[in-house]
């Protein structure tokens, strides 16, 4: 299975389940796109703790450049697949 297929299935299944079983005030919708990052086994605990505190990091502005930001040149993407930041 391709990573794109897997991510598509995960996004579809989670939004379906949340919207049908939890009935949130606002319908869960995923943003377009995704990022993939590989980690060494010894990094998993640190990254897991960061994710557990992600909302706090966003509030305080203490984001991890590695985990939260991605910069690319427009030429890195096939034409029409990237939006320029304003």
Predicted model pTM: 0.48
**Closest by Cα among 16, 11, 59, 7 to 36:** 7
What stretch of H or E contains 51? helix 44-52
Q: What residue ranges of the chain have pLDDT lower than 70? A: 69-86
Q: What is the pLDDT of residue 21?
A: 94
Q: What is the pLDDT of residue 78?
A: 54
Q: What is the pLDDT of residue 84?
A: 42
């Amino acid at each position: 299975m391709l990573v794109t297929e897997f991510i598509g299935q995960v996004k579809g299944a989670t939004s379906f389940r949340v919207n049908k079983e939890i009935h949130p005030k606002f319908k869960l919708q995923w943003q377009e796109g995704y990022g993939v990052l590989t980690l060494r086994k010894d990094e998993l605990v640190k990254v897991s703790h960061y994710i557990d505190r992600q909302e706090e990091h966003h509030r305080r502005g203490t984001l991890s450049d590695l985990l939260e930001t991605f910069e690319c040149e427009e030429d890195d993407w096939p034409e029409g697949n990237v939006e320029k930041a304003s």
